[in-house]
Each structure stands twice: as structure tokens, then as C-alpha cells.
Amino acid sequence: MDNATDSGGAGYRRSAGSPRGEARRRELLAKITDDVAENGLVDFSLRRAARAAGTTHKVLLYHFESAEDLLRQVVVTLRERRVGNALAAGAGSSPTLAGRVRVAWESLREETQLRRVLDQAMGLAMYDPGRYAALGRGASQQYLPTLVSFCPEDWPEGRKLEVASMILAALRGFLVNLLIDDDLAAAGFEALLRAVEREEAAP
């Protein structure tokens, strides 16, 4: 990550608002996101991103404000993929909230490489918030709607948000525990499911 700021400033950015420029930006972002998903964030730089996209770092600065802006958009895109996978796995998989959460958890567990990259992003946000705070900002807003959608339809919106927030916080902790002790994560998850089942049974 030492070269992540080899941007030379944001003076090249001239494509905003152009349909053709936006299409090109999305194409570049998809290629760079694929590279980061496969190779992680270690040694990320504009030059590495340019190689992955088959272009130059100056072209990237035509479409992105800086290396940090590009990296932020990559992380957001990776989270969208993760949310989409969990939603596809959990939605309609079970008539109960606990069942949907279990299926989504199994999907998250299996995404070893994607999980590793997003853990790296959160680590950077905690290690150097002055530089990388944007990598962690908005993460909850991306994940919460999926968990809210798993809740029973007849619940009040406030209750859905409360329970979804609890599940999100717990799953984050369990995903970290997977790096240390898989059995510990599994035990904690089973306790979470019992709590969710009690919540579902409550009037």
C-alpha cells in the first residue's frame, strides 16, 4: 500500500457527467475490482491498478479522483458483491429469520478470498483512519438492508432495524473469529441463532 497515493493529484479528472466516460469508468472499476478480489490490497497502487485494467495511471486519474478514491470504490463494489451473494443465498431459503441468517452465514464463510480482502480494508481503516477512513465508512449501510429484508414482514421497522443491527454486529465478530478459531466462531453463531429464535417467538 506504500504507493497507494501515487496519484499526482486530481487534476486529470474530466470524465464526470459524460455517459461514455461513465461507461468507461465502470469498465475500469470492474477490472480493477477483479484484480483486488484475487490478489488483495497488499501493494495496491495506481500503477498496479493500471496494469490490471490494461491502461495507464494517468487514464485512471481521468476517471477517478485519486488512488484513495479508486480504492474506496473498489471496496464498495466488493461489498456489493458480498451482499448480493448473501441476499441470493438467504432470501427465500427458509420461512424463519434464523434459517435465513444461517444460510447467509454459510455463504459468508465460504467466501474466503473476498472475506480476506474486505478484512484487509477494515484493518487499514482502523490502522490509519486519517488516510483510509473511507474504506470503513458506509459498511453498515451496505449490509443492513439485506438483514432487514430477512426479518418478518409484519414486524415494525424499528424492530427490524434493531434485530438486523444485532445480527450484523455479531456476524462481524464471528467473521473475525474465523481467522483465529473456527470452533469459537461456530459456537458463538449457534448462540446468536438461539437469540434470534427467541426474538422471533416473542410477541
Helix (H) or strand (E) holding 198, with range, is helix 182-201
d(C-alpha 177, C-alpha 192), whole Å: 14
* Confidence band, pLDDT 50/70/90 cuts, at residue 1: low
One-letter amino acid at 64 equals: F
Report whether pLDDT(99) > 90: yes
What number is the average pLDDT over the span 80-91? 76
Q: How many other C-beta atoms can be found within 10 angstroms of the C-beta atom of residue 172?
A: 14
pTM of the predicted model, to two decimals? 0.74
DSSP string, 62-121: HHSS-HHHHHHHHHHHHHHHHHHHHHHHHTTS-SSHHHHHHHHHHHHHH-HHHHHHHHHH
Q: Is the pLDDT of residue 60 over 70?
A: yes
Q: What is the mean pLDDT of the chain?
A: 85
Q: What percent of the chain has pLDDT over 90?
A: 41
C-alpha 63/C-alpha 12 separation (Å) is: 8
Indicate whether 14 pLDDT > 70: no
Q: What is the pLDDT of residue 17?
A: 63
Reading phi first (left if > 0) and then psi (alpha if -120 to 50, else beta), residue 94 is in beta
| Residue in the structure block whose three cell numbers are 429484508 | 149
Give 185's contacts (C-beta < 8 A, 6+ positions apart).
174, 175, 177, 178
- Least confident range from 12-21, 33-42, 65-74, 138-147: namely 12-21
Rounded-to-integer distance, Cα 22 and Cα 64, Å: 11
pLDDT at residue 96, as a whole number = 92
Contact 147, 164 (CB under 8 A): yes
In this predicted structure, which of 89-93, 137-141, 180-184 has the lowest mean pLDDT? Answer: 89-93
